Amino acid sequence: MANSRKKMKILHTKKSVSALSRSWHRAGETVALVPTMGCLHAGHLSLVALARKKASRVIVSIFVNPTQFGPNEDFARYPRTEKADLKLLREAGADAAFLPTPAEMYGPEGEATVSLSESRLSRTMCGEFRPGHFAGVMQVCLKLFNIAMPDIAVFGEKDAQQLAVLRRMVRDLDVPVKLVGAPLVREADGLALSSRNRYLSAADRERALSLSRALADAEAAWRAGETRPGPVLAKLRRAVSRAADSLDYAVAVDKDTLEPVRSLGPGTLVALAARFGSTRLIDNRIFR
């Protein structure tokens, strides 16, 4: 495969990424983009593996995007592990890594003047607790799509709302990229992989297992024949509220429209966000 023959390119400028993508397209290759904020773990590597199956060239971006963090959020302390990330990406067979600075992405003023407005899709769930977050995500992803010109872009279903918002953006703005969702990856004990797990103390990590357990119970109830969201969500909220410091939300919605479902069924997304100490975690299950 072309992937293993070549050394991974490390790029810092938008221009160099666009030129590389153009040269690959001219040579008849297909290009996949995997946008990340670094601090890579097995979940990210599963996105790279899927991208490698779907395209002949894979670009991974590593950029902790300031515009998607609120003023009291963890932008400054978000873990930056560039050296380890690049090693993992080389081993995973990525063809190029794109590591821009904020000035490279947003210009010397550091603030783009044009932004995408939010809709109900991005104001609900996490959007209610992180106002402006998805506007920042859409902004940076649209920029990355314009820079890297990928045929496909791979995102984790762990961030199910992010994927729904981006799918809608791509559709509404006719962005010429196909979005591919990759299944959520869990630790052996069920904890959903997240770069933010490293903030958890051992005791908080133990309490955080309540998320995956409550979601597994919700799915088991549905498989056993319960289709009413009310009782299933009530049980889930009770279980998580007992373990967490606070529960931001727990919902049963359609995975694409994010509208609450009247009846649990295939395509239902049961999603939640809860806080353990100063760490906010999200988790979900998509019923299939």
Task: Catalogue the active-site residues.
Answer: 44
Q: Which is nearer to ligand PAF, 10 or 221 (CB)?
A: 10
Q: Which is nearer to ligand PAF, 149 or 236 (CB)?
A: 149
Structure tokens at 151: 């045929």
Should residue 68 be labelled a site residue for ligand PAF when binding is judged by CB under 6 A?
Answer: yes
Report the alpha-carbon distance of residue 115 to residue 92 in Å, rounded. Answer: 34
Single residue of 8, 11, 24, 65 touching ligand PAF by CB under 6 A: 65
Single residue of 8, 17, 32, 37 touching ligand PAF by CB under 6 A: 37
Whether the CB-CB separation of 251 and 182 falls below 8 Å is answered with no
Site string for ligand PAF, 111-140 (x = CB under 6 A): --------------------------x--x
**Antiparallel, parallel or unpaired: β 96-98 and 9-11:** parallel
Using CB under 6 A, count the residues that bind ligand PAF: 10
Q: How far is the CB of 61 from ligand PAF (least distance, A)?
A: 7
Look up residue 187 and give its DSSP letter.
-
For ligand PAF, the binding residues in 159-188 under the rule CB under 6 A are 159, 162
Report the alpha-carbon distance of residue 280 to residue 208 in Å, rounded. Answer: 10
Whether the CB-CB separation of 148 and 60 falls below 8 Å is answered with no
Q: How far is the CB of 33 from ligand PAF (least distance, A)?
A: 10
Q: Which is nearer to ligand PAF, 21 or 36 (CB)?
A: 36
Question: In 99-213, which ranges are E strands?
Answer: 152-156, 178-182
Should residue 36 be labelled a site residue for ligand PAF when binding is judged by CB under 6 A?
Answer: yes
Should residue 32 be labelled a site residue for ligand PAF when binding is judged by CB under 6 A?
Answer: no
Largest CA-CA distance found in the chain, in angstroms, rounded: 57
Whether the CB-CB separation of 67 and 75 falls below 8 Å is answered with no
Whether the CB-CB separation of 75 and 66 falls below 8 Å is answered with yes
Q: What are the residues binding ligand PAF (CB under 6 A)?
A: 35-37, 65, 68, 137, 140-141, 159, 162
